[in-house]
């Protein structure tokens, strides 16, 4: 599975904050309105509890200033009714001097703070700014979590074939549990994307997902990276540092290529799984953590266990649930959907060939798509993604021809191009020129065999007649009449 484009969160903090002042005293409404407007806030007012509730039903506000003593509707009733509909928007209550018990009751009913009349302007402004900033940060974090959850939701894992449907059913069952998961499959099959989907659909989704590229770090550095260290633990450790396990507490840690870690790290990892604790480098104190482990490998761990290169007890601790991802060559029915997904992704990134709905209008010509379906894809989905990205960059129209496919893919289909084919091309001819020359000669050969009948030539080439005609036009092939062809044969 591919990685998708970076998540974008709308800049909530970019707009002016809106504040509603609910108070029956005209002077207080006006003074608060002038004060808050001068501080850059957008201010709305209501002269009583009923009017305030009507405005709260129609509009969204970042903070509400609510008087508790109003003749038409007590502020406490307004607060309780508003909190039933909206538990999140901050509410500051305004009370008369000496009515602290009423203010305490309001806090129990859901108010965020209270201010006695007359209030200190400086303190009021500081608390308003602090509360609005806190609320906006919470909203932005919530939007980010929702965006991430959407990004790694199952609908973004492309696959409609039976194998992928079974895998997603298994992911659905596994995600809510605490069980460790081992994801196996060839390089490029999308193991990390499956791991992220498990995390985002688990109770741990509110906490960190920490990926570890096990094979890219030497053992000593990997140990410090995983478990952290105290100041002076080794040369260069000038400050203490938390490790990945502590960072991932209550979340998920993902080990990519788990089969590459050293025996020493395997032993320490086993202890963390069994005891849920570890010691940072240079420390005598243990750190307790609650971390779910998801591991991935393209190696045969059972074989490594037999060879003594991987601990058997660790293997069984990791392999509580096994999810095996099939290579792309075994689920070719998913290729069209994957191609469409990548066309959309890279058309948006390159800002080209986008339709009114924001989706890509690019499509491979039938013969190009046929080559994709026949290729063995040793690099799996990642290789297909690269081919489609290249096609988006090089495409000059909505119908993407064979000529934009990589040369190795054409050679694999028996269409390898040589520069010494006698086509009259210069030695420094581009790939486009070489492929176009080859296409032109193949089409001419089939036309000649078919007596210049485009219909018969299209049948022998196994392409639609419309596709052949497009190629004839694009390659400037001059069609000979059947009578001319017959005279040429006689002579």
Predicted local distance difference test score (pLDDT) of residue 431: 61
Looking at residue 241, the DSSP 8-state letter turns out to be B
pTM for the full predicted model: 0.56
The tens-digit pLDDT sequence of the chain (491 residues) is 433 333 343 344 446 889 999 999 999 999 999 999 998 999 999 999 999 999 999 888 999 999 988 989 989 999 999 988 888 899 999 887 666 788 788 888 889 988 888 888 888 999 999 898 888 877 776 666 555 554 555 656 777 778 888 898 899 899 999 999 999 999 889 899 899 999 989 999 889 999 998 777 777 788 888 888 777 666 666 777 888 898 899 999 999 999 999 898 999 999 999 999 988 887 788 889 999 999 999 999 999 999 999 999 999 999 999 999 999 999 999 999 899 999 999 999 998 899 888 899 999 988 889 889 988 898 999 999 999 999 999 888 899 888 888 878 876 555 544 433 444 566 666 666 677 777 788 888 888 888 888 888 888 887 788 778 888 887 778 776 544 444 444 44
Closest by CA position to 242, among listed 274, 275, 283: 283
Q: 3-class SS at 211?
A: strand
Closest by CA position to 244, among listed 286, 212, 277: 212
Q: How far does the chain reach from its first CA to its final CA, in angstroms?
A: 60
Complete domains list, the chain, with CATH: 12-145 (3.40.50.2300), 152-326 (3.40.50.300), 330-412 (1.10.8.60), 431-488 (1.10.10.60)
Torsion of the alpha carbons at 121, 122, 124 and 130, rounded to the nearest 10 = 160
- Identify any residues that bridge with 65 across adjacent strands, giving them in sequence order: 21, 92
Query: What is the distance between the alpha carbons of residues 35 and 124, in angstroms, rounded to a whole number?
Result: 11
């Amino acid at each position: 599975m591919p990685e998708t484009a970076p998540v974008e969160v709308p800049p909530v903090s970019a707009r002016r904050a809106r504040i509603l002042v609910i108070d029956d005293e005209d002077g207080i409404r006006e003074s608060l309105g002038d004060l808050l407007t001068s501080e850059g806030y957008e201010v709305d007012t209501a002269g009583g509890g009923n009017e305030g509730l009507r405005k709260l039903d129609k509009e969204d506000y970042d903070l509400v200033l609510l008087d508790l003593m109003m003749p038409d509707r007590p502020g406490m009733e307004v607060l309780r009714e508003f909190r039933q509909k909206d538990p999140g928007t901050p509410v500051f209550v305004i009370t008369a001097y000496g009515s602290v018990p009423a203010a305490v009751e309001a806090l129990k009913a859901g108010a965020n703070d209270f201010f006695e009349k007359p209030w200190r302007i400086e303190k009021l402004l500081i608390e308003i700014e602090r509360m609005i900033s806190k609320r906006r940060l919470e909203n932005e974090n919530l939007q980010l979590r929702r965006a991430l959850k959407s990004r790694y939701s199952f609908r973004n894992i492309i696959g409609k074939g039976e194998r992928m449907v079974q895998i997603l059913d298994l992911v659905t069952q596994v995600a809510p549990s605490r069980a460790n998961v081992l994801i196996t499959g060839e390089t490029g099959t999308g193991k990390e994307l499956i791991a992220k989907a498990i995390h985002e659909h688990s109770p741990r989704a509110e906490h960190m997902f920490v990926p570890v590229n096990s094979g890219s770090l030497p053992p000593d550095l990997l140990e410090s990276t995983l478990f952290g260290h105290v100041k002076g633990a080794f040369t260069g450790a000038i400050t203490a540092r938390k490790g990945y396990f502590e960072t991932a507490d209550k979340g998920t840690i993902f080990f990519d290529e788990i089969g590459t870690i050293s025996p020493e790290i395997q032993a320490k990892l086993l202890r963390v799984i069994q005891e849920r604790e570890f010691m940072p480098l240079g420390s005598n104190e243990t750190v307790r953590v609650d971390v779910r482990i998801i591991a991935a490998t393209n190696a045969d761990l059972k074989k490594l266990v037999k060879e003594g290169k991987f601990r058997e007890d660790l293997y069984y601790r990791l392999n509580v649930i096994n999810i095996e991802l099939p290579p792309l060559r075994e689920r070719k029915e998913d290729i069209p959907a994957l191609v469409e997904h990548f066309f959309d992704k890279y058309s948006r990134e390159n800002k080209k060939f986008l339709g009114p709905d924001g989706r890509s209008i690019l499509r491979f010509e039938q013969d190009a798509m046929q080559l994709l379906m026949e290729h063995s894809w040793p690099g799996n989905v990642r290789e297909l993604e690269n081919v489609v990205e290249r096609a988006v960059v090089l495409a000059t129209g909505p119908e993407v021809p064979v000529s934009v496919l990589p040369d190795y893919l054409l050679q694999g289909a028996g269409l390898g191009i040589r520069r010494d084919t006698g086509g009259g091309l210069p030695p420094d001819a581009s790939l486009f020129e070489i492929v176009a020359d080859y296409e032109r000669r193949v089409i001419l050969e089939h036309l000649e065999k078919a007596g210049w009948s485009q219909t018969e030539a299209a049948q022998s080439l196994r392409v639609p007649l419309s596709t052949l005609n497009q190629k004839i036009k694009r390659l400037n092939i001059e069609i000979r009449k059947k009578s001319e062809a017959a005279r040429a044969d006689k002579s």
